[in-house]
Structure 1
Amino acid sequence: MTNVTILTGRITKDLEIKQAGQTQVMNFSLAVDNPFKKDDASFFDIVAFGKTAELLNNYCGKGSKILVEGNLKQDRFTDKEGKNRSVVRVVANRIEFLDAKGSNQGQAPKQQANDPFANAAPDVDSDSLPF
């Protein structure tokens, strides 16, 4: 069976990385625009672990545009009132940064050293393409 989710959107709030035993964990929300209806967005809960969480923390922030590839995970639990609840999240397997280097909605990257995206291709205007 297949469980693959790909979302492109903007991070909705400041990121906070947490330590869970030996692993770093980051929970955040991604706002994804509806391409068919202006001023309409869906908000998805995302969880990232390890190196993915670390890179997000170092290079992204509120408003950063990213692509998330992962899988859906449903967690079931009983709340304080004894009611059964369910939460569906995207577990990020891969993150791609879509903002131009350093743009980050007016924020500079949190870490400049050893930037793996320093040689990224520049944005190309479609009017300048020969086809």
Structure 2
Amino acid sequence: MSNIAFIGGVVETPAYFDNDILNIDLLILRKDLNKVERLTVITNNNEAIAKAVREINEGDYFLTTNAHIMTKTYLRTKELECSECYNTEYKKVKSERTEVIFNDFSILKFEGDMPEGINKVFLEGNVCSDLNYRDKDGKSYCKYKLAVNQKVFDTKAEYPYIVTFGKDAELSKTYLKKNSRVFIEGSIQQRDIRQSEPFRCDACGVEAVKKIPNIVREIITSNVLFLDKDKSDDK
């Protein structure tokens, strides 16, 4: 079974804790895409935390070849403020997010220009949602959820969203359906989004749609292997 992540980038801010989990914000220079990506990696490994507190400084190059993705469920607090009477309400909602978990790392010092980053993920699993396929202006897009088990017959799984473009998206539409097995090579994309939330003020009754900030992470594919393709061809 595959659930492996290789991540390398420059530490953007000092490491910080969220409850008992250590967070590290990275800047990853993707020369293949000609852009700098932001990605947060986390750990609750006591040895990794102690090492990070001792060794990691802002501006260092952080490298881990001992990481994997995990789907975490947590309670998120939405802050909703009325634009008329300024009454503020707080709403707790259950959310799910893909996290990058590391268990060990190396720190490299550098001078001069930002070094090239590393953002590689290798996953094997079964499609566990309907495919969201679109073809607009000749640009194909396909998104689905993947169940990634840690080992054979393991009932626990992680559930990242997979996004493919172009030819891989077209092939995904042809060869994939629920329970299809697939091997993914790709990278983790972290995006800041604003989700629409219907709101009715308890104080003055005004109704509105609020935009609530959130973070999503998806796996953007660079290579897809359709492991059930031969079976499909035989039918």
- Computing the radius of gyration from Cα coordinates, the structure with the larger value is 2
Q: What pairs up with 1:37-48 in 2 under 5 angstroms?
A: 38-48=154-164
- Matched residue, 2:224: 95
How far has the Cα of 1:76 moved from its partner?
Answer: 0.7
Are 2:125 and 1:9 aligned?
Answer: yes
Stretches of 4+ moved more than 4 A in 1? none
The structure carrying a bigger strand percent of its residues is 2
Are 2:170 and 1:54 aligned?
Answer: yes
CA-based RMSD:
2.1
State the one-letter code of the partner of 1:26: C
TM-score under structure 2 length normalisation: 0.41
Which protein, 1 or 2, shows the higher relative CO under an 8 Å CA cutoff with sep ≥ 6?
A: 1
Gaps of 5+ in 2: 1-116, 197-209
Mapped to 2, the partners of 1:78 and 1:14 lie a distance apart of 24
State the one-letter code of the partner of 1:8: E
Change (3 A) 1:78 1:60: closer
Mapped to 2, the partners of 1:56 and 1:36 lie a distance apart of 24
How far has the Cα of 1:34 moved from its partner?
Answer: 2.1
Mapped to 2, the partners of 1:60 and 1:37 lie a distance apart of 21
The percent identity for this pair of structures is: 26
Mapped to 1, the partners of 2:120 and 2:188 lie a distance apart of 7
How far has the Cα of 1:10 moved from its partner?
Answer: 0.4
Mapped to 2, the partners of 1:11 and 1:32 lie a distance apart of 9
- Matched residue, 2:185: 69
How far has the Cα of 1:97 moved from its partner?
Answer: 1.6
Are 2:151 and 1:22 aligned?
Answer: no
How far has the Cα of 1:89 moved from its partner?
Answer: 0.2
SS, match of residue 82 in structure 1: strand
Query: Quick check: 2:133–2:173 contact (8 Å CA) kept in 1?
Result: yes
| Greater Cα offset, 5-14 or 72-81 | 72-81
Query: Quick check: 2:125–2:146 contact (8 Å CA) kept in 1?
Result: yes
Once the two structures are superposed, residues 51-74 of structure 1 have per-residue CA deviations (whole angstroms, 9 ceiling, x without a partner) of 001111112211111101011111
Mapped to 2, the partners of 1:84 and 1:78 lie a distance apart of 4
Q: How many residues align?
A: 105
